[in-house]
């Protein structure tokens, strides 16, 4: 019965606690799924539970680390395949090449879901299989740390990583019941490790745990346990461990309450999770969210402008704003940059007003100059005064869409040489291949330098039918809340410019706020008519929501409109603008007859509102300015501003002091947490081995157990580089250690002095140690006699004389060994004890 209880306490109970810990931590990702937690956690948890069970079975037979881990991986892997791809298994049991092919296909499907999905996502077999694999690996790694390495204090790190990663993905926090259950399971692992009294296996010469043949009072026996706990050391260890773990759990709770990293997610805008940059047809909303999730990271784009001002960079145009998710498919009528002309709004106006010849000549000159020089430098002198030249550099750019300045009229031919083709209908450049590119090129930009009155005067009443067919209102908008709101806002005017500004002013009013978390918390994070209606009612969102709302409202009043995805302006450092990922942005373009596609800026606190979009007859926008763009109200268009940005001031909505305050400068929380986490982990890795080794020695010597006292002597010898050799008997090993210890002259150590070296707990006297200081030879004799009795004596044989002083004998030898070692060896033994590493990994 005693053996069964011991097996349960050291093998099965930890396995159960690990399962509870990991599955509770997995609750953090529940916000990512539309299905209730039972619908996805049950199927996903199967491989983890089976893997832990298999590891526990193997561990109950003796091995503790490598073989249980391998058994768990094999069992979890088999059930994983059997659960999701049973038809590919040979006779339903053995995986075969078809299984690998099915896993590859599911992985591709999972990547597509991650790529295009909007949280919360619908559960699918590939998604649940992926979650199951993550849970199984997390559970087995946690089990290996807690039970195999006997380090339960750091076994909570993998589940904590699961919680933190889930918070970054979903902008949600772990439900409190699940967090409490995970914390309880973690504390249970710590308490079970202390209560079991097994901090290291009792090993023989080859490191295999030897079955006890001693009497009931020996290691692990009831009398031994009663004596140990009656002495008070067991409860002291447990409460000390619980207190330390309580501090760690308390810190996690405080962090979850106060830090955006755990409570609001890492993404400044949107909460989708993306792997890599776009390849092939992409979801612009996902691309945008990917860039924003990268925080302050470099986006791989730098540029220079003639006037030193930041500009909007466009990459793609959304095909259908009503779609969920958004799509941006490759253009069907793209051409080479040298032969395909762009006609943005300003160029279109020039053509209408009779300047068509001049505009065409200027565009041709800019392209020809770039082709002749290879860098486009000659184009600078030929450009007309009102035309800006923008020089861009891409560093390792792997996207399909090349960033182009808004209102571009000409592109340097080198862009075409790298495989990009330009689409004159969307003013974008696309390539099929997505290999990394290092390229520098120039573009000519013609800003739309008009006032509101000038633009309104030039506006026609009816856009061309071809534009309506592609970018006009969707039938689903008929009778929608979006249409009702748009008609109310534009009542009393039929001028499309006045209507557009009225829609923009509404979104920039006090009725709306910029928020990264509200869409997720309230369930409208994404695109599509239904989610846009929820955004208009809630009044809080980020650029995707503001741009979608303005485009749909414009379409509802018969103004063709579309969403552009790219980057908002950034400030310059030494004349160069370095684009960071947090500047990823989306904005609306409206087609104004007789003018062309005109950009607007309805997003609160991001970018700048162009001068032509500011009317004296409408309420002035009340949104706080973007800190990356100075003098927001004076800028004539999204391509330029009258006052330059403050040099180096490229903070954007991702640099927030807290959720919902994108314009507030502050410390990047993600970067700060990474720094603090790295420091804490470093300190833990340095301090933890010494603390664990110190605690293990205290527990062993306080137990009065023969086996554990011998194990401590063996481990100390390992730490000091004098470990037991496979061929050595107990007597030969003890004799060699005695000879080494005698070199220090520590033949009779004083107990009060030894306590500071060996870590002797204050209650050693009460655990059976007599307090006398044996000589090294006597100590070795006592220890060898005791371990020989414990391992080889028949059942019921009386203990040898002096067995009650085995802890004092072990302490004498340990002290002598430490004092005989050189200072460097002692430091290595204290800070980097090799005995904590499984014996199979030491050689």
pLDDT tens-digit readout, 654-672: 333 333 333 333 334 444 4
Q: How far is CA 711 from CA 199, 203, 242, 541, 806, in A?
A: 10, 7, 26, 62, 12
Question: Poorest-confidence range of 121-125, 548-552, 570-574, 681-685?
Answer: 681-685
What's the pLDDT at 120? 66
pLDDT (average), residues 74-102: 90
Residue 226 tokens, joined: 């009663």
Buried/exposed 125-159: b ≥16 CB within 10 Å, e otherwise: ebbbbbbbbbbbbbbbbbbbbbbbbbbbbbbbebb
CB-based contact 118:163 (threshold 8 Å): no
Domain-ending residue, one of 148, 168, 196: 196
Q: Sheet containing 408-411: which strands, arranged edge to edge?
A: 408-411, 437-445, 388-397, 298-305, 576-580, 572-573
How many angstroms separate the CA atoms of 266 and 170, rounded? Answer: 9
pLDDT at position 488 is 94
Q: Which residue has the higher pLDDT, 372 or 590?
A: 590
In a domain, 543, yes or no: no
Q: What is the largest CA-CA distance in the chain?
A: 116
Strands (E), 322-417: 388-397, 401-402, 404-405, 408-411
Residue 764 scores a pLDDT above 60: no
Separation of CA 155 from chain center: 19
Least confident of 68-72, 156-160, 266-270, 590-594: 266-270
Residues 402, 315 contacting (CB under 8 angstroms): yes
| Segment 475-490 mean pLDDT | 93
**Does residue 224 form part of some domain?**
no
Cα–Cα separations (whole angstroms), residue 63 to 58, 210, 285: 7, 12, 51
Residue 632 lies in a domain: no
- Return the DSSP state at 450: -
In the predicted model, is pLDDT for residue 623 greater than 70? Answer: no
Q: Which residue has the tokens 């745990």?
A: 209
- In whole angstroms, give the CA distance from residue 691 to residue 784: 28
Count CB atoms within 10 A of the CB of residue 320. Answer: 16
* 276-290, 470-484, 681-695, 735-749, range with greatest mean pLDDT: 470-484
DSSP states of 478-503? TT-HHHHHHHHHTTT---HHHHHHHH
Of 657, 540, 525, nearest in space to 259 by CA: 657
Taking all residues of the chain, what is their mean pLDDT, rounded to a whole number? Answer: 73
**Helix-helix angle 669-703:706-719, to 10 degrees:** 130
> Comparing 590 with 525, which gets the higher pLDDT?
590
Domain annotation covers residue 270: no
d(C-alpha 696, C-alpha 184), whole Å: 23
pLDDT of residue 773: 41
Nearest to 662 by CA among 347, 268, 142: 268
Cβ–Cβ < 8 Å for 799, 778:
no
Which of 311-325, 352-366, 494-508 is most confident? 494-508
Q: What is the DSSP string of 794-829?
A: PTTPPPPTTGGGHHHHHHHHHHHHHHHS-HHHHHHH
Distance, CA of 735 to chain centre:
54
Q: Structural domain tally of the chain? A: 2
Domain boundary at 196, 221, 246, which?
196
- pLDDT band at 195; cut points 50, 70, 90: low
817 pLDDT exceeds 80? yes
- Predicted pLDDT at 2: 60
Instruction: Report how far residue 447's alpha carbon sits from residue 638's, in angstroms, rounded to the nearest whole number.
Output: 8
Tell me the Ramachandran region of residue 545: left when phi exceeds 0, alpha when psi lies from -120 to 50, beta otherwise. Answer: alpha
Does the pLDDT at position 635 exceed 80?
no
Whether pLDDT at 547 is above 50: yes
Highest mean pLDDT among 291-295, 557-561, 697-701, 728-732: 557-561
**pLDDT above 60 for 470:** yes
pLDDT of residue 466: 86
**225 assigned to some structural domain:** no
**d(Cα 35, Cα 127) in Å, to the nearest integer?**
12
Instruction: Check: CB of residue 461 under 8 Å from CB of residue 396.
Output: no
Which range among 100-114, 556-570, 659-673 has the greatest average pLDDT? 556-570
Question: What confidence category does residue 379 fall into, taking pLDDT thresholds of 50, 70 and 90?
Answer: very low
Average pLDDT over residues 684-693: 75
Residue with tokens 């009229």: 409
pLDDT over 90 for what percent of the chain? 19
CB 472 within 8 A of CB 556: no
Say what the pLDDT of residue 468 is. 86
* The predicted structure's pLDDT at residue 78: 93
pLDDT at 494 over 70: yes
Instruction: Compute the distance between CA of residue 225 and CA of residue 678 in angstroms, rounded to an integer.
Output: 40
**pLDDT class for 682, splitting at 50, 70, 90?**
low
Identify whether the C-beta of residue 779 lies closer than 8 Å to the C-beta of residue 808.
yes
Which one is predicted more confidently, 716 or 226?
716
How far is it, in rounded angstroms, from Cα 76 to Cα 136?
A: 7
Q: When comparing pLDDT for 215 and 343, which is higher?
A: 343
pLDDT of 324-356, one tens digit each? 777 777 777 777 777 777 778 877 777 666 554
Q: To the nearest 10°, report the CA torsion of 215, 219, 222, 227.
A: 110
> For tokens 């300190």, what's the residue?
683
* Residue 115 pLDDT level (bands cut at 50, 70, 90): low
Report yes or no: 178 and 27 within 8 Å, Cβ to Cβ.
yes
Least confident of 44-53, 252-261, 275-284: 275-284
Structural domain span for residue 825: 692-841
Note if the pTM is more than 0.75. Answer: no
* Residues 110, 98: Cα–Cα separation, whole Å: 18
Residue 377: the pLDDT is: 37
In a domain, 715, yes or no: yes
Look up residue 835 and give its two tokens. Answer: 């005995």
At 712, the pLDDT band (50, 70, 90 cuts) reads very high
Other Cβ atoms closer than 10 A to 42: 11
**Is pLDDT of 699 > 50?**
yes
Six token digits for residue 211:
């079955």
**Token pair recorded at residue 354:** 């009779």
Provide the pLDDT confidence category of residue 7 given band limits of 50, 70 and 90. confident
Residue 141 pLDDT more than 70?
yes
Average pLDDT over residues 527-542: 87
Instruction: Kindly state the average pLDDT of the residues 729-749.
Output: 74
Highest mean pLDDT among 171-180, 548-557, 623-632, 678-687: 548-557
Please tell me which residue, 152 or 54, carries the higher pLDDT value.
54
**């030249």: which residue's tokens?**
389
Range with the lowest mean pLDDT among 423-432, 483-492, 833-842?
833-842
528 phi and psi, to 5 degrees?
110, 160
Q: Using CA atoms, how far apart are residues 295 and 490, in angstroms rounded to an integer?
A: 38
Answer with the residue of higher pLDDT: 223 or 725. Answer: 725
Domain assignment present for 390:
no
Q: In angstroms, what CA-CA distances link 430 with 312, 418, 567, 662?
A: 18, 10, 17, 31
Look at residue 28 and tell me whether its pLDDT is greater than 90: no
- Is residue 359 predicted with pLDDT exceeding 50? no
Q: What is the chain's alpha carbon radius of gyration, rounded to the nearest angstrom?
A: 35
- Arithmetic mean of pLDDT, 459-471: 86
194 compared with 65, residue with greater pLDDT? 65
Query: Stretch 242-249: mean pLDDT, rounded?
Result: 52
pLDDT one-digit tens code per residue, 390-442: 999 998 887 888 899 988 888 888 888 888 888 888 888 888 877 788 999 99
Domain boundary among 145, 162, 196: 196
| SS3 state of residue 140 | helix
> Residue 423 — left, alpha, or beta (φ > 0 → left; ψ -120 to 50 → alpha)?
beta
119: left (phi over 0), alpha (psi -120 to 50) or beta: beta
DSSP string of 637-667? BTTB-SSPPPTT----TTS-SSTT-TTS---
- Phi then psi for residue 625, to 5 deg, are -70, 155
Tokens of 463: 């856009």
> Comparing 120-124, 503-507, 583-587, which segment has the lowest mean pLDDT?
120-124
Residue 651 lies in a domain: no
């Amino acid at each position: 019965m005693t053996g069964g209880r011991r097996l349960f306490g050291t093998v099965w109970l930890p396995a159960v606690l690990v399962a509870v810990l990991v599955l509770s931590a997995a609750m953090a990702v529940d916000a990512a799924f539309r299905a209730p937690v039972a619908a996805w956690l049950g199927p996903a948890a199967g491989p983890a539970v089976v893997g832990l069970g298999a590891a526990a079975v193997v561990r109950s037979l003796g091995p503790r680390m490598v073989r249980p881990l391998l058994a768990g991986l094999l069992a979890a892997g088999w059930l994983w395949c059997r659960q999701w791809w049973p038809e590919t298994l040979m006779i339903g049991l053995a995986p075969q090449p078809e299984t690998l092919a099915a896993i590859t296909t599911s992985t591709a499907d999972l990547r597509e879901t991650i790529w295009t999905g909007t949280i919360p996502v619908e559960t699918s077999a590939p998604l649940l299989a992926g979650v199951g694999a993550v849970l199984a690996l997390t559970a087995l790694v946690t089990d290996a740390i807690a039970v195999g390495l006997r380090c339960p204090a750091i076994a909570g790190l993998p589940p904590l990583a699961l919680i933190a990663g889930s918070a970054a993905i979903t902008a949600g926090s772990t439900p409190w019941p699940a967090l409490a259950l995970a914390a309880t399971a973690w504390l249970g692992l710590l308490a079970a490790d202390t209560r079991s009294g097994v901090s290291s296996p009792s090993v023989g010469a080859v490191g295999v745990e030897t079955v006890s043949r001693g009497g009931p009072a020996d290691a692990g026996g009831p009398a031994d346990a009663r004596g140990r706990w009656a002495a008070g050391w067991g409860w002291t260890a447990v409460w000390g461990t619980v207190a330390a773990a309580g501090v760690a759990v308390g810190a996690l709770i405080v962090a979850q309450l106060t830090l955006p990293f755990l409570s609001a997610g890492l993404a400044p805008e949107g909460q989708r999770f993306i792997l890599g940059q776009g390849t092939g047809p992409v979801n612009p909303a996902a691309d945008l969210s990917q860039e924003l999730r990268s925080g302050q990271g470099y986006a791989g784009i730098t540029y220079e402008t003639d006037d030193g001002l930041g500009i909007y960079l466009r990459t793609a145009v959304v095909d259908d704003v009503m779609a969920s998710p958004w799509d941006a498919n490759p253009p069907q009528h793209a051409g080479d940059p040298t032969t395909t002309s762009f006609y943005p709004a300003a160029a279109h106006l020039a053509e209408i007003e009779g300047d068509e010849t001049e505009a065409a000549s200027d565009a041709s000159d800019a392209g020809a100059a770039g082709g002749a020089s290879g860098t486009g430098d000659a184009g600078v002198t030929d450009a007309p005064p009102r035309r800006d030249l923008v020089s861009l550099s891409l560093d390792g750019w792997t996207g399909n869409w090349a960033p182009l300045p808004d209102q571009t009229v000409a592109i340097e031919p080198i862009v075409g040489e790298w495989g990009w083709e330009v689409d004159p209908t969307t003013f974008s450049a696309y390539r099929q291949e997505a290999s990394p590119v290092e390229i520098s090129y120039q573009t000519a930009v013609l800003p739309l330098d008009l006032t509101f009155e000038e633009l309104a005067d030039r506006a026609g009443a009816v856009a061309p039918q071809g534009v309506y067919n592609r970018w006009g209102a969707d039938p689903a908008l008929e009778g929608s809340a979006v249409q009702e709101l748009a008609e109310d806002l534009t009542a009393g005017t039929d001028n499309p410019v006045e209507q557009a500004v009225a829609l923009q002013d509404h979104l920039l009013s006090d009725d709306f706020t910029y928020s990264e978390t509200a869409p997720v918390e309230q369930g409208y994070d994404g695109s599509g008519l239904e989610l846009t209606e929820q955004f208009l009612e809630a009044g809080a969102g980020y650029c995707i929501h503001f741009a979608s709302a303005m485009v749909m409202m414009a379409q509802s009043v018969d103004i063709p409109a579309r969403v552009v995805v790219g980057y908002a302006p950034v400030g310059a450092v030494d004349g160069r603008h370095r684009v960071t990922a947090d500047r990823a942005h989306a904005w609306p373009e409206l087609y104004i007859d007789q003018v062309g596609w005109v950009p607007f800026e309805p997003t609160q606190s991001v970018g700048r509102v162009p001068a032509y979009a500011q009317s004296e007859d409408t309420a002035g926008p009340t949104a706080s300015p973007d800190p990356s763009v100075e003098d927001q109200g004076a800028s004539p268009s999204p391509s330029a501003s009258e006052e330059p940005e403050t040099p180096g001031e490229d903070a954007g909505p991702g640099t927030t002091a807290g959720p919902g305050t994108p314009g507030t400068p502050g410390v990047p929380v993600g970067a700060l947490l990474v720094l603090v986490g790295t420091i804490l982990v470093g300190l833990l890795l340095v301090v933890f081995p010494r603390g664990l080794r110190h605690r293990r020695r205290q527990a062993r010597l306080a137990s009065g157990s023969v086996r554990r006292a011998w194990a401590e002597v063996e481990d100390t010898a390992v730490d000091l580089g004098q470990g037991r050799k496979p061929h050595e008997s107990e007597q030969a090993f003890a004799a060699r250690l005695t000879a080494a210890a005698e070199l220090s002259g520590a033949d009779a150590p004083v107990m009060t002095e030894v306590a500071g070296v060996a870590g002797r707990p204050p209650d050693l006297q009460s655990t059976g140690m007599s307090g006398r200081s044996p000589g090294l030879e006597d100590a070795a004799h006592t220890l060898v006699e005791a371990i020989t009795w414990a391992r080889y004596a028949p059942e019921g044989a009386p203990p040898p004389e002096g067995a009650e002083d085995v802890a004092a004998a072990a302490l004498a030898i340990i002290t002598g060994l430490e004092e005989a070692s050189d200072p460097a060896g002692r430091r290595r033994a204290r800070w980097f004890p090799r005995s904590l590493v499984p014996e199979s990994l030491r050689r």
